[in-house]
Chains A and B, each alone.
Chain A
Amino acid sequence: MTDLRPHAEDIHELFEEHLDLGVDEIEERLDTLVNEYKVPLSEARRSVISHYREQAGLERDEFDAGDSELANAADINAPDEWVTLKAKVVELWEPRSDSIEQVGLLGDSTGTIKFTKWAKSDLQPLEEGKSYRFENVVTDEYQGRYSVKLNRTTKIEPLEDDIDVGRATVELDGALVDIQQGSGLIKRCPEENCTRVLQNSRCAEHGEVEGVFDLRIKGVLDNGLETQDVLFNREMTEEVADIDIETAKQMAKDALDTTVVADEIADRVVGRYYHIEGPRVGRYVLVEQVERLGAPTDVEELLIEARSI
């Protein structure tokens, strides 16, 4: 059974200045959720914290969590936690709403995470490529993806040293159950620094252009418990489908149709099991290594297990 005491102590500390609470009552509340109602610990913490926050009459934004712990971008895996990050602003994106002042990607040595900075939080502007210490940011989750929100209590301190941004590599085993639109032989915009995929020989940015051929697979790897979008670049597509781009171009030329390439690739890869490795970028894992999985060997152990049930 999980020891809930350290979690109760954490929460106790959060509210020390606001509420007269005992660690025992916090632990009891956690215990009810975790052991009686089988709520996952992260959810239980979230629920208990928001209960006390309400009791203390604190807005989420005003709520000062005290000393938030230094966290790694790749390790953020629960919502509503107060953390400190030392990270570089890897990318700034166009905010989609006036309430958002800046939005983009922060990175540290372990990986990257999306951040949002609200206009009303009144914080200093961040520069792309610069590194900062962000004290007191709140983690958030949407559809299984984590992000951090900067708020009024966040302290931003520019760092002298440049932070090296690493990429968190994931390893997955599963069946490639489907490949999606946009797989196969595609054409990209030839303009410098533009690699957009052309639709009917048009680039969304540069209009009608003479495209450059490329090969890729946008696939779905599924292990029966989780499903993950995976992207094979040209090199990985050539390896996994055993097809080279010249052959693919010739096939398309003979058929007067590029979709034959996607069909051929699908024939060679869909339904097979693979082990893949690569960094997670947005909703995709970019495949950097791929290995076909053969027949398994643990039949005997499973049989013993089945007979013992």
Chain B
Amino acid sequence: MREVARRVFAREFNAATFTFSESDDEYAPVYALLPTGMRLNRAFVVGTLTETEEIGDDTEYWRGRIIEPTGTFFAYAGEYQPEAAAMLRHATTPSHVAVLGKPRTYETDDGGTNVSLRAETVAHVDTAVRKRWIVETARHTLNRIRAFEDGDEPDAIRAKDVYGDDISPYRDAVIDALEGLDIEDTPEVVS
């Protein structure tokens, strides 16, 4: 079965440093565990592409910075994601983009863990898509928070063990994202 593309804000996605797999099979799906207690093997994110950079040495490898109201997603695409890599190569910045991707984690030099997206598709979109994604992601995050507080899903229990009980940053992320929309959407007063 194809894995669903979860909706998650950057603030929560970047905190999802714990990954796991259900079996030892090298092709078994790898999941990032979200702090609000859901496993994620694929994400659909929308934001503003502000920078693209070619970081490959021998082969083409692109990194894009995608900003949304709660933080920054880093999306990568190389020779095995030719379409996404081509999109990043030709993309103009800044522009609104939608990215479908798989979570990847790597250790940083200072011992931390970075979470990024290995892009499957990168598409230029408009502001209506951006707003819709923010509202949708807000709703999904609130639903996860409520399920987390009920606390009986195995992944919620696991998330509490790994990241602890405090998920208020992700509720605050929802509020920040929605308040940002509110201001944008206030019609200009015509005097």
Residues of chain A within 8 A of B79, CB atoms compared: none
Q: 0/1 per residue, B96-112, Cβ < 8 Å to A?
A: 01101000000000000
Contacts between chains A and B (CB distance < 8 A), count: 101
- The answer on a CB contact under 8 Å between B175 and A307 is yes
Count, chain A residues at interface, CB 8 A: 32
| Residue B3, interface by CB 8 Å | yes
| Residue A296, interface by CB 8 Å | yes
Closest chain B residue to A177 by CB distance? Answer: B100
8 A Cβ contacts from B124-138 to A: 124-125, 127-129, 131-133, 135-138
| Residue A3, interface by CB 8 Å | no
CB distance from B36 to the nearest CB of A (A): 12
Closest chain A residue to B8 by CB distance? Answer: A224
- The answer on a CB contact under 8 Å between B1 and A178 is no
Which residue of A227, A273, A302, A306 contacts B5 across the interface (Cβ within 8 Å)? A227
Which residue of B1, B121, B152 contacts A177 across the interface (Cβ within 8 Å)? B121
Residues of chain A within 8 A of B125, CB atoms compared: 271-272
Closest chain A residue to B100 by CB distance? Answer: A177
Residues of chain A within 8 A of B171, CB atoms compared: 306, 309
CB distance from B57 to the nearest CB of A (A): 28
CB distance from B150 to the nearest CB of A (A): 10
Name 24 A/B residue pairs within 8 A (Cβ), A-sorted: A143-B1, A175-B129, A175-B133, A177-B5, A177-B121, A178-B120, A225-B140, A227-B3, A266-B83, A267-B124, A270-B123, A271-B97, A271-B121, A293-B128, A294-B132, A295-B131, A296-B131, A296-B135, A296-B136, A298-B135, A299-B135, A299-B185, A302-B178, A309-B142
Chain B residues with CB under 8 Å of chain A are 1-7, 44, 46, 83, 97-98, 100, 120-121, 123-125, 127-129, 131-133, 135-140, 142, 145-146, 152, 171, 174-175, 178-179, 181-182, 185
Q: Contacts A271-B123, A302-B139 given; 19 further ones with Cβ under 8 A? A: A175-B5, A178-B100, A178-B121, A222-B4, A222-B5, A222-B44, A224-B4, A224-B6, A227-B5, A229-B2, A267-B124, A273-B132, A294-B128, A294-B132, A295-B128, A296-B135, A299-B185, A303-B182, A306-B175
10 A-B pairs closest in CB distance: A271-B98, A271-B123, A295-B131, A270-B123, A224-B7, A296-B135, A295-B128, A306-B174, A271-B125, A303-B178
